[in-house]
């Protein structure tokens, strides 16, 4: 991440300490994750201890300290989706992508995550790809859904 | 000055002091683990809970973080408080049975068994080291990371911190670092604290010193025996 880009975002929020979450969210948009050097630079520039920044980043699930893929697949593992066959969809996703939950494919295209509930239980089992909801999923539909986001050869 | 009642005692206290400050000032024993003079109160261990209010409308609050109020009615050793504290000590013991401080607290509250699944942990997340590092050492080298069941205390990125001066204040203040005594009882979840085991009393030998100090158990036993003899 370029330091000029970070400075631009810091300036946008006027180096306000209360805006730390917004700043980190904006920073995450650039690379889809927060590298160690970025956090160190932010803590130095904003005069916030690195420990406080690190505590905050590890507290919220939306921040990632590991590189994430281009497309983020979120499978719901809430109660309603679970009884409607959520685990089967999740294991099919894991099989097809060749990764387990929390990991990123080697080509940096997909990251697989789970979520407890999205509040759209009527659509379960639910899979969300980059914010787009795919309801009534089943293991058969997984391949065609992934194809839409796969890299074109 | 504010007027309030603590354990039936009408007291006048300074504004801004916590219930724990008041109790300690008037010599009322309230057990604590995460409180330390010179550090901000955090309310992590919950051991200092007291009951406030009268009649049916009472509640348990942590006294270290609850400010003294006008007309507050506090009970520091009611049945509800004592029972809740015992459970809290059991939970702390289940989290970290190797700590002397926690074992001593358990012994003082006559907790003799742990009903929860015991994890051989080495931290109770009291936050004393975090506050020590931030407030007294002005370093902020360690802090809480993650949340929920994964919460732990560590340095940023789990590597040696640039701001840590290895002063050792965190180890000095840690209540879990000092290990419990292993004898004379067999090792278990509760250490066989001197107050909980029947000591090897030297009742017939007046000229020997009891290695358990002044636990007073032998006097109690002697009294019981004498009573039995009288019967």
| Backbone angle region of B37, left / alpha / beta, with phi > 0 → left and psi within -120 to 50 → alpha | beta
Query: In the prediction, which pLDDT does B100 show?
Result: 86
* pLDDT over 90 at B34, yes or no: yes
Query: In the prediction, which pLDDT does B164 show?
Result: 93
A54-93 confidence digits (pLDDT tens): 999 999 988 999 999 899 999 999 999 999 999 999 999 9
Cβ-nearest to B141 among A39, A51, A59: A51
Give A94→chain B minimum CA distance, Å. Answer: 24
* pLDDT over 60 at B225, yes or no: yes
Tokens 């180096």, residue located? A15
Judging contacts by C-beta atoms under 8 Å, the chain B residues touching residue A55 are 143-145
Beta bridge partners of A71: A110
Beta bridge partners of B4: B11
Looking at per-residue confidence, does B58 or B204 come out higher? B58
Identify whether A65 is part of a domain: no
Interface A:B, Cβ pairs < 8 A: 31
Cα A138 from Cα B108, distance rounded (Å): 58
Cα A123 from Cα A137, distance rounded (Å): 9
Give me the percent of chain B exceeding a pLDDT of 90.
Answer: 61
Query: In the prediction, which pLDDT does A12 show?
Result: 93
- Contact criterion met (CB < 8 Å) for B157 and A54: yes
Query: In the prediction, which pLDDT does A150 show?
Result: 85
Identify whether A30 is part of a domain: yes
Query: In the prediction, which pLDDT does A55 show?
Result: 95
* pLDDT over 90 at A38, yes or no: yes
- Contact criterion met (CB < 8 Å) for B147 and A53: no
CATH number of the domain within which A109 lies: 3.40.30.10
Beta bridge partners of B10: B5
Query: In the prediction, which pLDDT does A124 show?
Result: 80
User: Do A46 and A109 fall into the same domain?
Assistant: no
A40-51 confidence digits (pLDDT tens): 999 999 999 999
User: Do A55 and A89 fall into the same domain?
Assistant: no
A39 lies in which domain range? 3-59
* pLDDT over 60 at B214, yes or no: no
What is the number of domains present in chain A?
Answer: 2
Query: In the prediction, which pLDDT does A73 show?
Result: 93
* pLDDT over 60 at B199, yes or no: no
The rounded mean pLDDT for chain B is 85
Give B138→chain A minimum CA distance, Å. Answer: 10
Complex ipTM > 0.85: no
Contact B4, B70 (CB under 8 A): yes
Give B117→chain A minimum CA distance, Å. Answer: 26
Cα B127 from Cα B39, distance rounded (Å): 10
Query: In the prediction, which pLDDT does B207 show?
Result: 55
- Contact criterion met (CB < 8 Å) for B140 and A55: no
Domains of chain B: 2-77 (3.10.20.740), 128-173 (3.30.70.20), 199-231 (no CATH)
């Amino acid at each position: 991440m370029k330091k000029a880009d970070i400075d631009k975002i810091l300036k946008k929020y006027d180096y306000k300490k209360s805006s730390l979450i917004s700043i980190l969210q904006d920073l995450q948009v650039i690379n889809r994750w927060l590298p160690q050097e970025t956090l160190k630079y932010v803590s130095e520039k904003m005069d916030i201890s690195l420990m406080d920044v690190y505590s905050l980043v590890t507290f919220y699930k939306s921040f990632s300290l590991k590189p994430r893929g281009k497309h983020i697949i979120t499978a719901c593992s809430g109660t309603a989706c679970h009884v409607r066959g959520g685990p089967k969809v999740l294991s099919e996703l894991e099989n097809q992508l060749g990764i387990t939950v929390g990991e990123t494919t080697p080509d940096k295209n997909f990251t697989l995550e789970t979520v407890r509930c999205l509040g759209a239980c009527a659509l379960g089992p639910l899979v969300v790809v980059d914010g787009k909801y795919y309801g009534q999923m089943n293991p058969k539909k997984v391949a065609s859904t992934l194809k839409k986001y796969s890299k074109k050869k | 000055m504010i007027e309030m009642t603590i354990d039936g005692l009408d007291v006048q206290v300074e504004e801004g002091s916590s219930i724990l400050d008041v109790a300690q000032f008037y010599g009322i024993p309230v057990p604590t683990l995460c409180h330390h003079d010179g550090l901000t109160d955090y309310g992590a261990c919950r051991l200092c809970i007291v009951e406030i209010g009268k009649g049916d409308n009472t509640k348990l609050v942590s006294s270290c973080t609850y400010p003294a109020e006008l007309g507050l009615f506090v009970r520091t050793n009611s049945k509800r408080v004592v029972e809740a504290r015992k459970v809290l000590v059991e939970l702390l013991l289940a989290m970290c049975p190797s700590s002397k401080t926690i074992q001593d607290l358990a012994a003082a509250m006559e907790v003799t068994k742990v009903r929860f699944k015991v994890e051989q942990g080495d931290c109770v997340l009291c936050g004393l080291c975090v506050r020590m590092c931030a407030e007294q050492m002005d370093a902020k080298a360690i802090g809480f990371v993650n949340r929920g069941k994964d919460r732990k205390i560590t340095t940023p990125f789990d590597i040696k911190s640039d701001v840590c001066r290895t002063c050792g204040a965190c180890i000095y203040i840690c209540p879990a670092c000092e290990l419990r005594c292993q004898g004379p009882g067999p090792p278990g979840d509760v250490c066989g604290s001197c107050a909980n085991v029947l000591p090897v009393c030297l009742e017939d030998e007046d000229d020997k010193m009891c290695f358990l100090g002044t636990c007073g158990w032998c006097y109690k036993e002697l009294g019981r025996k004498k009573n039995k003899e009288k019967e």
